Structure 1
């Protein structure tokens, strides 16, 4: 047990060590010290955003980067929201995930066509960031309140009936699989 705790601490220290190295040692290099100066911070931030935008337009692996941006940070914030006692942050991130699911479902059918456009990954990245930004004009709130919620409220009884039928079919399929598995075990 002590060995696994020590291994876990070593792994944590390794990750922490790399981050500390990047913050302290790398940025103290005289050739890179100008990056930490207050007057250059806007250039570093906006320059990084411009490089990311150019990479999403012309680079390789844009889908992975955009999906990481649209998933990793919101997932982290969702965990923090679940661990907090405030209801507002839970509602905010649940709204984001509803819009994200709606967008993912819509994108599934149009992705093959849209991904051929050169600015697709950049546009998707901007859209997802707009959906999770903590601003009054947050995309998730706007899309949920103006598109998803009215559609859901208008069609809720139809959706409930359809979901009931789907649930019945899934349960029936599960029962059939269980019977087939038990018959297979009995015959062996």
Structure 2
């Protein structure tokens, strides 16, 4: 069980946190080769996470997170160019083959995201969202204090 927890969190660090910061740093540099590297990584990683969501419902794989950590390292490391290889060999051919089916969905989604209704929803979220989030946090803190007080009284 220790292995599961350790490698679960390590896979998240390697898969999300490090690449997020590296992507930020890449965007802050004037060249584009590092941008391309990290954008390619995110496309591959997103595809991998989508496949994982389906696969984990169907089967259990021993040492899954240990294997995932190694795979992520292989994808991330510039020496291996793993993300670029997966992108060019698998993702590009797949997306080219199914582009005629995907494009209409993408176009519709893009239209919805850029619609006046979505702009109104975004404006409302921007206007009221922070206040609602602060209220929820205060309510959660008050509830946590109440539970802690009740628990200490029960002892």
CA distance in 2, matches of 1:117, 1:153: 31
Paired residue for 2:97, among 142, 149, 154? 154
Alignment partner for residue 87 of structure 2, among 144, 154, 158?
144
Q: Which structure 1 residue ranges, 5 or more long, are not aligned?
A: 1-53, 182-188
Q: Work out whether 1:126 is the aligned partner of 2:70.
A: yes
Higher relative CO (Cα under 8 Å, sequence separation at least 6) belongs to: 2
TM-score where L is the length of structure 2: 0.66
Deviations 1:10-59 (A, max 9, x none): xxxxxxxxxxxxxxxxxxxxxxxxxxxxxxxxxxxxxxxxxxxx95xx34
Equivalent pairs, count: 121
Find out whether 1:66 has 2:14 as its counterpart.
Answer: no
TM-score, normalised via structure 1 length: 0.55
Q: Give 1:163's match in structure 2, choosing from 89, 98, 106.
A: 106
In the aligned structure 2, how far is the partner of 1:96 from the partner of 1:129? Answer: 11
Mapped partners of 1:84, 1:165: distance in 2: 34
Aligned equivalent of 1:103, options 36, 48, 55: 48
Unmatched segments (≥5 aa) in structure 2: 125-155
Structure 1 partner of 2:57: 112
How far apart are the structure 2 equivalents of 1:60 and 1:144?
A: 29
Counterpart CA distance in 2 for 1:83 and 1:170 is: 27
CA deviation after TM superposition for structure 1 residue 162, in Å: 1.7
User: Which has the larger Rg?
Assistant: 1
Measure the CA separation in 1 of the matches of 2:113 and 2:28: 33
